Amino acid sequence: MIKYKTLILSFSITCLAAPVFAQGDVAKAFSFAAKQTTFMLKEVDSAKAHANNPALVSPRNLKPDGTLGLINSKDWCSGFFPGELWFLYEYTKDAKWLAPAKDYTANIEREKDDATSHDVGFKVYNSAGNAYRLTRDPHYKEVLIRAATTLSRRFNPVVGSLQSWNARNGWKFPVIIDNMMNLELLFEATHLSGDSSFYKIAVAHANTAMKNHFRADNSSFHVVDYDPETGKILHRVTHQGFADSSAWARGQAWGLYGYTLCYRETRNKAYLEQAQKIAKFILSNPNLPADLVPYWDFNDPAIPNVPRDASAAAIMASALYELSTYSTANSKLYKTTADKIVKSLSDRYQSKPDENHGFLLLHSMGHKPAKSEIDVPIIYADYYYMEALLRKDRLAKRRPVVIR
């Protein structure tokens, strides 16, 4: 692992003159991703054999003892690796990725019925959503509609929001900014089924979050807790950030991506403006490092001596590529910034080949307050990094940046 101080020094030297990420760099990054994922498939098999627990179906992280962390299908991260396999199939067009993509997707399909959190969206959309997009197999369509129906059951019309987590920590109806990501499943279900109720729930949730999650500086609270009977706000707090009043980096990334996708789906200018306000908060933040890979929380007072979050950077890059296609005033800024982020990630945050059990990116932050997944490879960083690469590739080929 590179030490933070070394990272900071080398970034400030190299990033001053960082060239933008070129098209050839996408091919190089995907070639690395393909080799590394081939390695990961073997590593997963061997970790599974060692664990001797058939419920462990997807890779999630590098554990503190250096072993590969496997998870069961219920874990919120179970859909990311299947999604990566679909991305590799899409980019390489090599049929060798089809069987593992289908198998890993099938392993978590049962999650379409798990109504215990909003994470059904992360799990099913990133796996079966990509599967349907690339195969048009009607089975995946049914899985997606079923998952959206499951997620919809968490909608409370009094609050005007989906409930992200069940009551916990003294919260009655916690809604987290991350939940914006799972609206994509609902929008997709309306496209697939013609049933507008999914769309309406997504819009209501986005409007409520836009009203209640954001501060005057356009940073967002992580958790807003409501009274489910009255819709009254009970708490505005953090779960994974430095403080209730701080800007947890991945939360800002989820919001950026979420409002960008809401604009794509609705063409409501308010969502475009919200996404641009979030982008402004991030990109003009004095605590954003020169390499554009944020510290884990924008307001940690120990900055610069704190870990980065490569996952937040990857999510931001993917979102900014899409946002660049909607914004008129800032299109170039967003595109160039996304290029710089993927360049930083590719040049400085990549694992060495055949190391780290096949993860692509180092230096992500899972849950610092819980002392969990500190400065390690985590699967969702790789997923959004690969998605950003695909979006870059489509932009260069003048194809729609988001293909459904």
Contacting residues toward ligand GLY, per CB under 6 A: 76, 178, 240, 250
Contact (Cβ atoms closer than 8 angstroms) between residue 9 and residue 368: no
Annotation marks residue 309 as catalytic: no
d(CA 40, CA 223) in angstroms, rounded, equals: 34
Contact (Cβ atoms closer than 8 angstroms) between residue 287 and residue 303: yes
Would you say 102 or 250 has its CB closer to ligand GLY? 250
* CB 23, min distance to ligand GLY, A: 31
Question: What sections of 217-349 are H helices per DSSP?
Answer: 249-266, 269-283, 310-324, 331-348
The residue nearest ligand GLY at its CB is 178
Handedness of CA 125, 131, 132, 137 (dihedral sign): negative
Q: Which residues neighbour 14 within 8 Å (Cβ) at sequence distance 6 or greater?
A: 291, 347, 348
Would you say 39 or 165 has its CB closer to ligand GLY? 165
CA torsion 323→329→334→337, rounded to 10°? -170
* CB 154, min distance to ligand GLY, A: 15
Token code pair at residue 380: 């969702």
- The CB density around residue 236, as the number of other CB atoms within 10 Å, is 16
* CB 174, min distance to ligand GLY, A: 12
Would you say 205 or 250 has its CB closer to ligand GLY? 250
* CB 240, min distance to ligand GLY, A: 6
Would you say 43 or 373 has its CB closer to ligand GLY? 373
Nearest CA to 318 out of 261, 234, 373, 248 is that of 261
Q: Which residues neighbour 297 within 8 Å (Cβ) at sequence distance 6 or greater?
A: 241, 242, 246, 247, 248, 249, 306, 368
Q: Which of 178, 291, 375, 393 is catalytic?
A: 178
Would you say 101 or 181 has its CB closer to ligand GLY? 181
Would you say 83 or 100 has its CB closer to ligand GLY? 83
* CB 36, min distance to ligand GLY, A: 23
Annotation marks residue 382 as catalytic: no
Would you say 8 or 341 has its CB closer to ligand GLY? 341
Contact (Cβ atoms closer than 8 angstroms) between residue 104 and residue 60: no
* CB 21, min distance to ligand GLY, A: 25
d(CA 391, CA 175) in angstroms, rounded, equals: 29
Q: Which of 119, 225, 309, 339 is catalytic?
A: 119
Token code pair at residue 39: 């390695």
d(CA 308, CA 246) in angstroms, rounded, equals: 15
* CB 173, min distance to ligand GLY, A: 17
Enzyme catalytic residues:
119, 178
